[in-house]
Amino acid sequence: MIAHDALYIDGSWRPALGTGVIDVVNPADEQVIASVPAGSAEDVDAAVAAARAALPGWAAVPPARRGTYVAALRDQLVARRDEFVATMTAELGVPVGFARRVQTGIPIAVAGSYAELAATYAFEERIGNSAVHHEPVGVVGAITPWNYPLHQIVNKVAPALVAGCTIVLKPAEDTPLTAQLFAECVAAAELPAGVFNLVTGLGPVAGQALAEHPGVDLVSFTGSTDVGRRIGAIAGGAVKRVALELGGKSANVVLPGADLAKAVAANVADVCRNTGQSCNALTRLLVHTDQYEEAVSLAAAAVASFVPGDPTDPDVRVGPLVNAKQQARVRAYIDKGVEEGARLVTGGSAAPEGREKGYFVRPTVFADVTPEMTIAQEEIFGPVLSLIRYEDEDEAVRIANGTVYGLAAAVWAADGATAAAFARRLEAGQVEINGGGFNILAPFGGHKQSGIGRELGAHGLAEYLHTKSLQF
C-alpha cells in the first residue's frame, strides 16, 4: 500500500491542512492499495488563492504559447502512459487493453488537439465596427468522475489552460491516483506555479467547498444528474458560470433494412465497454417488431463473449464495477427488471462464476422491456441492455425521446441519409450513424437533464471564454 500525504498547490506538493484520508480500493480483489489526503475546505481555500494569484500572469501569456505548455503536458502523458494504464486498471478495475486504447489513448489525443487549437482559434474577431475579444473566464473549479478519470480531467484542464484560465481540480474519491499522476505530469511540463492545483477529497466536503467558493468563476462538473442539479443550484445562486456533463439513457434505434447483426453486436460491445460505466452507453436497443426476436437471439449470442475477469489479463474485456455501492446498485436494477416483468435473456444479479471476490456483475440482456419500466427510464451504469420493440418510426421516436435524458443516441438504417433524417428527430447531443466513430473535435454534451454546455474541440474551448466587444 502506498500512502500519499500531499496535495499539489501553487506548483508544489504540500501536506494537507485536513487530517482525513481516503483509502483507494482495487475493485477486482477488494484490497486497499493506497491512501490520499481528504482535503478540507481550508485546502480548497489555499488552492483557489493560488489559482487567483496565478490568473493575471497566465491570462497574459499568448494563446499559442499556452498551447506549447499543453503540448508539453501531452508529451508527459505519452511518456508515462504505462503508469496511467496500470494505475487505472488498479483503482478503477478497467481492463488493461481498454485502459491503453481508450482510457489513455483518447485523452492523449484530446490534449494534442487543444495544443494545436491554441494556435488557430480566433481569440479576437471583427464584427462591423466592433472588435470582439474572447477572454478567459477566470478560475475554474473542475470536479471530475471516476469512470474515465484521465479523459475527464484532460477534457477540462486542456481547454481551460488554452483559454487562459487557472484551475483547481477535485477528482472523484474512487480514482484519485490517476489525478495525482496527472499532477506529476503538470509539474514535469513546467506549468507556472498556481496555474493547476489538485485537491483530493470527498464530494460533500472538498467538492462542495469548491463549487461554493466565491473565488471560483466557473464550475465544470461531470457526474450524476442528482449532484449536477445541486451544483447548478449553487452556481445559480452565486451567478457564476457552470458546465454540467451528466447522465444518460441513450437509445440505439435499428430501422428496417439495416444490418441487424452488425447493429446488435456493436450495441452489446458498447454496453459492455468500461463495464457499462459510460454516461453515453447505448443501454436501450429499439428494434422493429418484425425483427425483434431475431435481435434478442443475436444479443444473447453476442454478450456470451463478454466474460468478466481479471482486468490485468490482456484478453479480458469486462472487469469489475468500481466499488461495492455500484455493484449493489446494478444488481438491484437487474432484480427490479425481473420484478417488473422484463424477460431475463442472459445474465442476472448473481455473481459471475468464479468471481465472488471483487465487484463483478454479469453482463445482462433483458427482452420484453416496455418504455415505462424502471430499467428503461433510469441510468443503471452497468452492463445491462434493454431490448424494446416498436411498430413504426413515429413510435420509435417517442420511445427514444421518452426519458429525462438526452446525451447520446445511435441509428442504424439501410443508408446514411435515412439514418440521418431519423437522427434529426432525436433529442440528443450526439447521434452515431451506422456505427460512426467518436470524434474528439466534435462537441460532446447533452440535452434536457443530461447537462449544460459542451466539451471537446472548439466548442469545448468556448466554455472557458467570455466575450468583450470594443466598439470603434
Residues with active-site annotation: 245, 279
- What is the rounded CA–CA span in Å between residue 137 and residue 464? 6
- For residue 74, the surrounding DSSP H or E stretch is helix 63-79
Q: Which grid coordinates belong to 361?
A: 456483475
Backbone angles phi, psi at 440, to 5 degrees: -75, -10
Q: Which residues pair with 244 in a beta bridge?
A: 221, 452
- In this structure, are strands 130-136 and 124-127 parallel, antiparallel, or unpaired? antiparallel
Burial class (CB in 10 A: 0-12, 13-18, 19+), 60: exposed
DSSP 318: B
Query: CA dihedral defined by 87, 93, 98, 103, rounded to 10 degrees?
Result: -50
Q: Which grid coordinates belong to 229?
A: 442539479
Q: Which residues pair with 450 in a beta bridge?
A: none
* Contact (Cβ atoms closer than 8 angstroms) between residue 114 and residue 67: yes
* Contact (Cβ atoms closer than 8 angstroms) between residue 430 and residue 442: yes
Instruction: Please list, in sequence order, all residues whose beta carbon lies within 8 angstroms of the beta carbon of residue 431, skipping any fewer than 6 positions away.
Output: 408, 409, 410, 411, 423
Q: Which residues pair with 170 in a beta bridge?
A: 143
Q: Which grid coordinates belong to 228?
A: 449536477
- What is the rounded CA–CA span in Å between residue 217 and residue 137? 7
Nearest to 311 by CA among 344, 368, 355: 355
Q: Which residues pair with 444 in a beta bridge?
A: 455
- What is the rounded CA–CA span in Å between residue 302 and residue 266? 9
* Contact (Cβ atoms closer than 8 angstroms) between residue 181 and residue 137: no
CA 191 vs CA 163, 301, 307, 325, 375: distances in Å: 14, 50, 43, 37, 46
* Contact (Cβ atoms closer than 8 angstroms) between residue 89 and residue 95: yes
- What is the rounded CA–CA span in Å between residue 375 and residue 385? 9
Instruction: Please list, in sequence order, all residues whose beta carbon lies within 8 angstroms of the beta carbon of residue 451, skipping any fewer than 6 positions away.
Output: 228, 243, 244, 245, 246, 407, 429, 445
- Amino acid present at 39: G
* Contact (Cβ atoms closer than 8 angstroms) between residue 134 and residue 123: yes
